[in-house]
Every structure is written in structure tokens, then in C-alpha cells.
Amino acid sequence: MRKLWNTGVNLFSMLTANASKPPVNAVTGSAYDFEFAGIDGEPLKLSDWRGQPLLIVNTASLCGFTKQYGALQDLWRRYETAGLVVIAVPSNDFGEQEPDADGEIRTFCQGVFGVTFPIASKHPVVGPDAHPFYKWAAEAMGPGGAPTWNFHKYLVGRDGQLLRSFSSRLSPASNEIVSWLEKAIEQPTPAAA
């Protein structure tokens, strides 16, 4: 019963949250300071994409929003040559909707949605065990800045700073997300330090 209650509260929060918002707090460092374990066992160092905009999305295979994988793949295909990097971060934090092991997740994403963008290993994205990137992003976004459900999206600019947070209910194909992605792509690449 408690799990059902928590799922209902999370769904209500997700549906009533702002669709898009900017960061409100200055934080030290940048997204390029973090790395994820990759789904193939190799590290996914965000610094490998320094100077490129990143769209980082916590995902789940059994969610009502799982079809967003297709729209994310479309964005990747459309903007990859312009520098955009889409990164999926599978998580079992919401409704236990990502119960599978990494190999099964990869097979599902590639087989069902033709995903070719980078996929991290499964990581917690909320709470005390959240991946450090997600703690950093939540701090930058301020109150309510952590994901409240699967398919929450963070857009990182070419300078490694958060530009925007998008709720789960906002499709990657929405005009709002596409507009922000194009603004991020149009940013000049920072000079190497």
C-alpha cells in the first residue's frame, strides 16, 4: 500500500510540476566533472564531450513515458552532427520501472527503439544514494529540482553549466525542448582552458 501511495504522490508531483525551468543556484564545477558507469562497463566521462551540449535523461523501460526513447533517438540523429549528445541514465527509483540488468536494458533500448546514443549503467537519481551528477543538478535547480519521475531531462550548455530542466511529461519532440536544444547548439564553444 505504501508503494502505491508513493507512486501516486510522485505521479501527482510530476503532473503538476513546471514543464521547464532554469537553474536558480550557482554551483561549483560543471557537468564535465562527472562520469557515469556505462552500460557496456566502460566509463562515460562527461568531460569526453567538453564543449558540446548534453541532454541527460533518467530513463526506465516499463514507464508510461518509455516511448520517449524514440523521440530522444530522433533528437540524437537530428542534432548529433551539430554537437548534441543525448545520454540515457536508467534508474529504478520511480515505481520500480527499471528492474532489469544492464544487458537487458541495452538490448531493449537498441532492439525496440534503435537507440544509438550513450546509455549509462543503472544509477539512483534521487535521495542520499543519487549519482553525484544528479545531486549537483538538483542543487543547481533549487527546491524541487531533482527528478520526480522517469524521463526527467537536464540540458547542459557547451560551458558545462545547466541551462534548463524539463519535466517527464514534456516530450523530447516538443517545441520547447527543441527550441532550447537549438539555443544550446548555437552557443559558441568555449575556448580551451
Q: Tell me: the pLDDT tens digits for 141-153?
A: 998 889 999 999 9
Reference 137, options 61, 31, 36; nearest CA is: 31
Residues above pLDDT 70, as percent of the chain:
90
pLDDT in tens, 60-94: 999 999 999 999 999 999 999 999 999 999 999 99
pLDDT beyond 70 at 12: no
Question: Dihedral, CA atoms, 44, 49, 54, 55, nearest 10 degrees?
Answer: -30
Q: What is the mean pLDDT of residues 106-117?
A: 97
For the cut 70, the answer to whether the pLDDT of residue 128 exceeds it is yes
Q: How far is CA 71 from CA 17, 47, 172, in A?
A: 21, 25, 6
Q: Compute the distance between CA of residue 187 and CA of residue 38 in angstroms, rounded to an integer.
A: 28
Residue 82 to residue 185: CA distance in whole angstroms? 7
Would you state the pLDDT for residue 193? 58
Inside any domain, residue 2:
no
For the whole model, what pTM was predicted?
0.90
**Full domain range(s) for residue 177:** 20-186
- Mean pLDDT of all residues in the chain? 91
Give the total number of structural domains in the chain: 1
Q: Is residue 45 in a domain?
A: yes
Residue 158 lies in a domain: yes
| Residue 14 forms part of a structural domain | no
Specify if 104 maps to a domain.
yes
Average pLDDT for residues 157-169, to the nearest whole number? 96
Active site residues: 63
- Please give the pLDDT value at position 1: 47
Q: Is residue 3 part of a domain?
A: no
Domain membership flag for residue 13: no
| pLDDT-derived band at 18, boundaries 50, 70, 90 | low
Pick left, alpha or beta for residue 76 (phi over 0 → left; psi -120 to 50 → alpha; otherwise beta). Answer: alpha
Q: Is residue 8 part of a domain?
A: no
Q: What's the CATH number where 40 sits?
A: 3.40.30.10
DSSP 120: B
